[in-house]
Amino acid sequence: MRPLTEEETKTLFEKLAKYIGSNIKHLIDRPDETYCFRLHRDRVYYVSESIMRKAVSIGRDQLGSLGVCFGKMTKTGKFRLHITALDYLAQYAKHKMWVKPNGEMPFLYGNHVVKAHLGRVTEDTPEHQGVIILNMSDVPLGFGVTARSTTDSRKLQPTDIVAFHQADIGEYLREEDTLF
Amino acid sequence: MDVSSALEAHQNKFKSIEVEKLVPVEFDLNLLAAFDTNAIDEKKLSSKKENYLKELNRDNAQLLFNQIFKLPVESTDAGLLAKLPESSHILPREKALPKAKPMTRWEKFAQIKGIQKKKKERMVIDEATGEYSPRWGYGGGKKDKTKDWLLEVPSNVDPMEDQYAKLREEKKERVDKNKKRQKRNEEEASATSKGQDPRQVKKKQLQDAIAVTKRSTASLGRFDKHIEGEPKMKGMKRQFAPNITDSKVEKQASMDILNKVVGKNGEVLNVQKAVRQSKRARK
């Protein structure tokens, strides 16, 4: 476990900013407790300072996980978000997309969101923008990247993709062993 | 008196000068050598070795002498001498054939373009004096203008400019440029002769040079600015911030990075939204 380097923090923030923009500051600067980002075995964890201080006393090999895993640093130095970060992303998301009940299961099995399943979307969402995907009763299901802007997606066919799948809560089952 | 029987008897005492061989023997009379390529009789060689070899030698020597006696002769004070022909035998090389020199950049270019090298005479006539002088080298070439006692100042230049200095500088530039190319050709040739890609060799050299300069600062390059695509240094330890520090400092550091990433004002301008809002305002 170690703090992120400047470079790593930058790549992490760049990825997070695609979903929550400047709301990252609410993650760093919290009124309740001080939270920080820590890297452990290539995974980035968002953890409160008190837990982090306790985890320091656990050996590197013995420490499995701490706090909330936000994702992992790939070997090429990029950052990949995990579905475990959904709680925080959904809370601060700038752009959201709601899927109809008949589109919930296809998305949860790892498919892209098609126009036919699109229930609602935040106004003025640009193209290739990170969005949080929710069902109609506002339960976050995962996140993705828009294929078209809101205005462009009006003209699409029902079978055309409106958002590319990035992560969904089905991964809690599918990728149980590598997720945390 | 019939002497034929006596002659025959005398002749029978000696062996015939006629020797028959299955494969004709080759000669190089200049070297006084005969090359017999006939197969050796294995049986005779094992049973009567000495005898057989003597016999074989005599026959071949006889053939050689027959050839020598066919040669034209000339009489000198020392007696009759045969004139030996030119040697027909080619000795194999002692050393391997020299390897072709690697082509220079110009030679490669000329080959692609089909430019042929023209043979030029060493001496050329100097039209001003009407005398022959070498095309280049000592006493030849374009006469070195820097040695002239007077130089013309072109009308379109600064009159105070030193024309001699200008010429000297131009010449130095030409020489330096040629030297640089010569060096490059040598480097490329040495790389290709070792079967390496010259570009890769050059890249390796540059990377090594970077590595040396990085290590030569007091901090072993720890605080140097990182260049994109810079090779990873071996033996240089990364240093991470300690796990437990002042939380305020850490928070501030992350905030600084965040400000760089998303900009101080927070959001980037959403163009579509802005356009729509301005349209609404006009209505």
Q: How does residue B269 score in pLDDT terms, banded at 50, 70 and 90?
A: low
The pLDDT of residue B265 is above 60: no
Whole-number Å distance between alpha carbons of A65 and A58: 11
Residue B39 phi, psi (nearest 5)? -70, 145
pLDDT at B271: 73
Per-residue model confidence (pLDDT) at position A144: 93
Share of chain B above pLDDT 90, in %: 25
CB contact under 8 A, A21 and B267: yes
Q: What is the pLDDT of residue A74?
A: 92
Work out the mean pLDDT of chain B and round it to a whole number.
85
A49, closest residue in chain B (CA to CA): B247
Q: Which of B243, B251, B257 sits opposite A6 (nearest CB)?
A: B257
Please check whether residue A136 is in contact with residue A98, taking contact to mean a CB–CB distance below 8 angstroms. Answer: yes
Query: What ipTM does the predicted assembly reach?
Result: 0.82
Query: Residue A134: which residues within 8 A CB-CB, separation 6 or more?
Result: A90, A96, A97, A98, A99, A140, A141
pTM here is 0.54
Torsion of CA B55, B58, B61, B62, to 10 degrees: -110
**Better pLDDT: B23 or B234:** B23
pLDDT tops 90 at residue B113? yes
Domain ranges of chain B: 4-82, 247-282
Identify all chain B residues contacting A34, using CB atoms and an 8 Å cutoff.
Answer: 247, 251
Of A3, A6, A10, the CB nearest to B243: A3
CA B251 to chain centre: 63
**Alpha helices per DSSP H over A5-93:** 6-20, 24-28, 49-55, 86-92
Q: Do A34 and B251 touch (CB under 8 A)?
A: yes
Lowest-pLDDT range, A169-178, B22-31, B176-185, B209-218? Answer: B209-218
Q: What is the pLDDT of residue B132?
A: 87
pLDDT tens digit at each of 180 positions of chain A = 889 888 889 899 989 988 988 888 888 888 888 899 999 999 999 999 999 989 999 988 999 899 999 999 999 989 999 999 999 999 899 899 999 999 899 999 999 999 999 888 888 888 888 999 999 999 999 999 999 888 888 888 888 999 999 999 999 999 888 887
Q: Do A25 and B255 touch (CB under 8 A)?
A: yes
- Give the containing element (helix H, strand E) for A156: none
CB contact under 8 A, B258 and A36: no
Distance from CA of A41 to the nearest CA of B (A): 15
Task: Answer whether residue B74 shows pLDDT above 70.
Answer: yes
- Please give the Cα distance from A158 to A156 (Å, whole number): 6
Q: Is B128 exposed, middle or buried (0-12, 13-18, 19+ CB in 10 A)?
A: exposed
Residue B159 pLDDT exceeds 70: yes
Instruction: Return the percentage of chain B with pLDDT > 70, whole number.
Output: 93
Average pLDDT over residues B31-60: 90
- Determine the 3-state secondary structure of A90 from DSSP: helix
Task: Tell the burial category of B70 from Cβ atoms under 10 Å away from its Cβ (0-12, 13-18, 19+).
Answer: exposed
**CB interface of B with A, residues 142-201, below 8 Å:** none
Residue B273 forms contact with A (CB below 8 Å): yes
B266 touching A (Cβ < 8 Å):
yes
Alpha carbon distance A168, A82 (integer Å) = 9
Considering only CB atoms, B241 lies closest to which of A3, A28, A124, namely A3
- What's the pLDDT at B1? 65
